[in-house]
Amino acid sequence: MNPNFLNTPIDYLKRVGPQRANLLRTELGVHTYQDLINLFPNRYIDKTKYYKINELQRNSTEVQLVGKVVHMKMVEQKRGKRLVAIFTDGTAEMELVWFKGHKWIKEGVKLNTPYVVYGKINWFNGVFSIPHPEMELLKDHEASLRSAMQPVYPSTEKLTKIGINNKVINQLIQELFKESQGKFYDTLPKYLLEELKLINKAEALFNIHFPRNPEMLAKAQYRLKFEELFYIQFQLIRKNLVRKSKIKGYPFENVGKNFTSFYNEHLPFDLTGAQKRVIKEIRKDLGSNAQMNRLLQGDVGSGKTIVALLTALLALDNGFQACIMAPTEILATQHYNGILELVKPLNLNVKLLTGSTKTSDRKIIHEELQNGDLSILIGTHAVLEDKVKFQNLGLAIIDEQHRFGVAQRAKLWRKNEIPPHVLVMTATPIPRTLAMSLYGDLDISVIDELPPGRKPIKTVHRYDGNRLKVFQFIRDEIEKGRQVYVVYPLIQESESMDYKDLMDGYESIARDFPAPKYQISIVHGQMKPADKDYEMDRFLRGETQIMVATTVIEVGVNVPNASVMIIESAERFGLSQLHQLRGRVGRGAEQSFCILMTGHKLSDDSKTRLETMTRTNDGFEIAEVDLKLRGPGNIMGTQQSGVLNLKIADIVKDNDILKVARYYAMRLLKDDPTLQKPENKIVKYTFEKLQLHKNIWNYIS
C-alpha cells in the first residue's frame, strides 16, 4: 500500500462526493481516509439473532427480521401524513412506519423482495410496528463485510437528517477496507507484539469495525488502546528526558547560611516525613545540571508554603533571586505576609508586586530587582510584565498553576538567559492516573500527610429542614470566639433553578444574626477587587464573625480562627470544589466543622459526592471519585490540553492499560533513547509522523 494512501482527502472515496465530504468534515472531523479509519464505534449491537414476527414480545427492544414488503399506503394524521408498509415473514404481518422522507422511501423500497429489517419495535392497537427501520436487501446483507457485532458510530442530528446514518458510515468504512485491501502498517515493534501477545494493526482495525466475535473485538480494543496510550506516554517521557539533557539549569551546589540557619533555628514547627522527602527530591534536582521542572502536590493545609520557602532559600544561598507567583491578589498577599514573618530573623529583602502596587513602590521594586538587592519577589500576573527584569532569577515557584496559561509560564522562563528552575504547586489533588497523562513530562512530588496537631475536619450532611439547629450550632461556635463561612453557588436567582441565591441567604442570615451583636461580611465575584479585599480583611482581623460568600474564597484564604464552613446547595458543587472549600477551615488548633446543606431531591451523583465528603478528608481519594464521576475532560479543564483528546482509550477505565503502556515506553526509552536500534525503527517512524501533526492519532496507521 502506498504510504500516503491514508492522507487521501475523504472526497475521493467511492460513495462520498462533495456534499457528503463537507458534512463528514464539519460534523465528525473526518478529513482524510486516516480520520475515517480512526472513527471508532461507540458501542456494538449483537445482530446474531433473526426474529420471527410471531415470536415478538410487547417490549420496545431492537430486533432484526427477514421478510417482504407486500403493500404500501399513505395514512392521514393530525399533522401531515405517515407512510405505512405491510411487512410479512410468512409467520405473521406487521407495519413499517415513516413520518418523513416518504417520496424517497416509496421509490426505493421494492415490493415482494426479501429484505433484512432492523429497528425498535412498538406495540400499538394490537399491531407491532417499527418506525424508521434500517432496511437492506437480503442479497446485499449476505454479501457485505458485516459482522455479528454491529458497530454504532458517533453521529449528529444533521448527519441523520441528511441520510448519513450508521449504515452509510459502515458502508464507507467497507469501501475503505476494499480500497486498501486491509493492508495497514504496524506501528509497534514486533518484540512488543510478541511479549504482550497483541494482534497486529491490520487485524485490530478490521475487528474494531467488523468484529468476527466478542473475543476478537476485545483483542482489537486492547491493542488500539495500548497503542494510543503508549505513544502519549512515549511523547511525555521523551519530552522530560530531552529537557533534562538539553535544557541546562544552574546547579545549586551550596547549602548555605540562609537555608541552614532557617532550618536549624527558625523553623516554627517540625517538618513532616512527607515534607522532608519532598525537600530531598527538590535538592537532588537543583544539584544536577538539568533544569528542575517539578510539580508539588499537597492537599489543603499540608504545608507546601514552607517547602517553597526552603527551596527559595537554596536559590539565595547560590547567589540567585527567587520569585513566587499566585493567581490572585489575596493569595499573593497571604504568601507575602506569611513568608515575611518567617524570614524576619534572616534579614532578607522580600517584596510584593500586584496590580494594586503603587507606582512609587513599583519603581523601587524594578530597581532592586535589577541591581540584585531584592532576594524574593512575590506577586500575581504583574510579575510577568516586560518591565519586570531580574538580575539573575534562579527559581520560579508557581502556585495553583492550572490558573496560569502555558504562554504566561513561558514568559516567566524567558526572564533569564538560562531558564530558572521551576516548582509548580497545586492544592488540587490530581489523581495519579490523570497526573501520568497531564503532567507526564514533569517530575511529581506529593506531600501526603498533614502537620501534627491538625484535627481532621468533621463533615456532616444536613437537609434544609434542619436549618434552625444549624443556626443554633453557629451561635454556639461564635460564643466560643470562632468565625464562620457560609458559601452559596449563585449570585442572582437563576430562573431555571430555584436555589437560594447569595443575597437571599445574606438577608436571612442578617435576620437571624442581627447587628450589633453579630457582624457579617459579604464577598462575591461581581464586587470590585478593592471592596472584596476590604471585606476579606475585616474577616481576617476578626471584625466580622460571619463571611457570606460565593466560591471566590475557594483557593488559599487562611483564617485560622474560622472553624465552621457551611456550604449551601452543596449538591450544586463538584467534589474537588467542595473539598477546596472545606479546606478553608481546620487551619487552627481547634476542632473544625463542615456542614453540607441540601434539599431533599438529590441525583445519584450528588448522593455519591456527599457520601464521599462525609466519609473521607483525603484529597487524593476524593479526586479519584471525582474523576470517575466527571471523566477526565472536565477535571483541570483538560479539554484544552490536547493530550486527552483520545480516540479510543479512556484514562479512567483503562488505567491498567495506561500503567502497562507507561512502563513499556519508559523501558524502551531507557534502552534506546535515540531510537537507533533496527527493531525500534517503526517506533521512530511513527513518532516522527506524530510530531508533524498535533492530533496524536493522525498518523497512527
* Beta-carbon contacts of residue 244 (< 8 Å; ≥ 6 apart): 288, 290, 291
Q: What one-letter code names the amino acid at 289?
A: N
DSSP-derived secondary structure letter, 384 = G
Q: What one-letter code names the amino acid at 439?
A: Y
How far is the C-alpha of 292 from the C-alpha of 305, rounded, in Å? 18
| φ, ψ of residue 86 in degrees (nearest 5) | -90, 125
Instruction: Assess if residue 442 is contained within a domain.
Output: no
pLDDT at 502: 77
Q: Write down the residue that cell numbers 445574606 correspond to.
A: 506
The SS3 of residue 122 is strand
Q: For residue 592, what pLDDT band results from cuts at 50, 70 and 90?
A: very high
Instruction: Assess if residue 665 is contained within a domain.
Output: no
DSSP-derived secondary structure letter, 451 = P
Q: Are 675 and 684 in contact (CB under 8 A)?
A: yes
Q: What percent of the chain has pLDDT over 90?
A: 49
pLDDT at 306 over 60: yes
* Residue 265 shares a structural domain with residue 414: yes
- Choosing from 123, 145, 167, the residue where a domain stops is 145
* Residue 468 shares a structural domain with residue 605: yes
How far is the C-alpha of 308 from the C-alpha of 426, rounded, in Å? 12
Q: Which of 184, 213, 155, 163 is CA-nearest to residue 27?
A: 155
pLDDT at 40 over 90: yes
* Residue 469 shares a structural domain with residue 592: yes
Q: What average pLDDT does the segment 486-503 reach?
A: 61
pLDDT at 147 over 70: no
More confident residue, 638 or 509: 509
Tens-digit pLDDT profile for residues 425-458 = 987 777 776 776 666 667 888 888 877 777 889 9
Q: Are 71 and 85 in contact (CB under 8 A)?
A: yes
pLDDT at 488 over 50: yes
User: Chain-wide mean pLDDT for the chain?
Assistant: 86
DSSP-derived secondary structure letter, 264 = I
Q: What average pLDDT does the segment 372-377 reach?
A: 96
pLDDT at 697: 41
* Residue 482 shares a structural domain with residue 581: yes
Q: Write the burial class of residue 340 (CB in 10 Å: 0-12 exposed, 13-18 middle, 19+ buried).
A: middle
Q: For residue 641, what pLDDT band results from cuts at 50, 70 and 90?
A: very low
Tens-digit pLDDT profile for residues 181-218 = 878 889 999 999 999 999 999 999 999 999 988 899 99
Tens-digit pLDDT profile for residues 75-88 = 988 888 999 999 99
pLDDT at 438: 67
Q: What one-letter code names the amino acid at 219?
A: K
How far is the C-alpha of 196 from the C-alpha of 226, rounded, in Å? 10
Q: Write the burial class of residue 38 (CB in 10 Å: 0-12 exposed, 13-18 middle, 19+ buried).
A: buried
pLDDT at 417: 76
Cell digits for 224?
488500539
pLDDT at 247 over 60: yes
Overall domain count for the chain? 3
Instruction: Assess if residue 296 is contained within a domain.
Output: no
Q: Write down the residue that cell numbers 532569577 correspond to.
A: 393
Instruction: Assess if residue 585 is contained within a domain.
Output: yes
pLDDT at 250: 86
Q: What average pLDDT does the segment 532-546 reach?
A: 89
Strands (E), 514-663: 520-523, 546-549, 562-567, 593-598
CATH number for the domain that contains residue 69: 2.40.50.140
**Total length of the chain:** 701
pLDDT at 212: 83
pLDDT at 701: 36
* Residue 486 shares a structural domain with residue 555: yes
More confident residue, 554 or 305: 305
* Residue 593 shares a structural domain with residue 518: yes
Q: What average pLDDT does the segment 132-157 reach?
A: 83
What residues form DSSP beta bridges with 487?
549, 567
pLDDT at 405: 60
* Residue 280 shares a structural domain with residue 364: yes
Cis peptide before 211 (omega within 30 of 0): no
How far is the C-alpha of 505 from the C-alpha of 464, rounded, in Å? 12
* Residue 80 shares a structural domain with residue 139: yes
* Beta-carbon contacts of residue 537 (< 8 Å; ≥ 6 apart): none
* Beta-carbon contacts of residue 498 (< 8 Å; ≥ 6 apart): none
C-alpha distances in angstroms, 284 versus 255, 288, 509?
Answer: 12, 7, 53
Cell digits for 621?
481519594
Q: Are 630 and 621 in contact (CB under 8 A)?
A: no
How far is the C-alpha of 410 from the C-alpha of 422, rounded, in Å? 11
Q: What percent of the chain has pLDDT over 70?
A: 90
Our measurement of the distance from residue 170's CA atom to the centroid of its chain's CA atoms, rounded to an integer in Å, reads 31
* Residue 321 shares a structural domain with residue 398: yes
pLDDT at 545 over 80: yes
Q: Are 379 and 332 in contact (CB under 8 A)?
A: yes
Q: Which of 429, 425, 454, 427 is CA-nearest to residue 621?
A: 429
* Beta-carbon contacts of residue 484 (< 8 Å; ≥ 6 apart): 474, 477, 478, 545, 546, 547, 562, 563, 564, 565, 566
pLDDT at 684 over 80: yes
pLDDT at 47: 76
How far is the C-alpha of 150 from the C-alpha of 95, rounded, in Å? 24
Sign, CA torsion 96/100/103/108? negative
Instruction: Assess if residue 185 is contained within a domain.
Output: no
- Choosing from 590, 616, 642, the residue where a domain stops is 616
Instruction: Assess if residue 219 is contained within a domain.
Output: no
Cell digits for 406?
502555558
Q: Write down the residue that cell numbers 445519584 correspond to.
A: 604
| φ, ψ of residue 446 in degrees (nearest 5) | -130, 130
- Choosing from 616, 646, 680, the residue where a domain stops is 616
* Residue 356 shares a structural domain with residue 494: no
More confident residue, 35 or 411: 35
Q: For residue 110, what pLDDT band results from cuts at 50, 70 and 90?
A: very high
pLDDT at 593 over 80: yes
Assign 3-class secondary structure to 309-375: HHHHHHHHHCCCEEEEECCCHHHHHHHHHHHHHHHHHHCCCEEEECCCCCHHHHHHHHHHHHHCCCC
Tens-digit pLDDT profile for residues 148-170 = 678 889 888 888 888 888 889 99
Sign, CA torsion 400/402/403/404? positive
DSSP state letters, 21-56: HHHHHHHH---BHHHHHT---SEEEE----B-GGG-
pLDDT at 496 over 80: no
pLDDT at 499 over 50: no
Tens-digit pLDDT profile for residues 328-366 = 887 898 899 989 999 999 999 999 999 889 999 999 999
Pairing verdict, β 122-124 and 127-131: antiparallel
CATH number for the domain that contains residue 409: 3.40.50.300
Tens-digit pLDDT profile for residues 598-634 = 999 999 899 999 999 999 988 888 888 887 787 655 5
pLDDT at 556 over 80: no
Pairing verdict, β 593-598 and 458-463: parallel
pLDDT at 219: 96
Q: Write down the residue that cell numbers 524576619 correspond to.
A: 344
Tens-digit pLDDT profile for residues 57-77 = 887 778 899 999 999 999 988
pLDDT at 316 over 90: yes
pLDDT at 616: 92
pLDDT at 5: 83
Instruction: Assess if residue 520 is contained within a domain.
Output: yes
Q: What average pLDDT does the segment 237-259 reach?
A: 86
Cell digits for 331?
493569595
* Residue 462 shares a structural domain with residue 412: no
Full domain range(s) for residue 74:
48-145
Instruction: Assess if residue 637 is contained within a domain.
Output: no
- Angle, vertex CA 65, rays to CA 60 and CA 68, nearest 5: 125
* Residue 365 shares a structural domain with residue 504: no
DSSP-derived secondary structure letter, 265 = I
Q: For residue 389, what pLDDT band results from cuts at 50, 70 and 90?
A: very high
CA end-to-end span of the chain: 12
The SS3 of residue 437 is helix
pLDDT at 429: 74
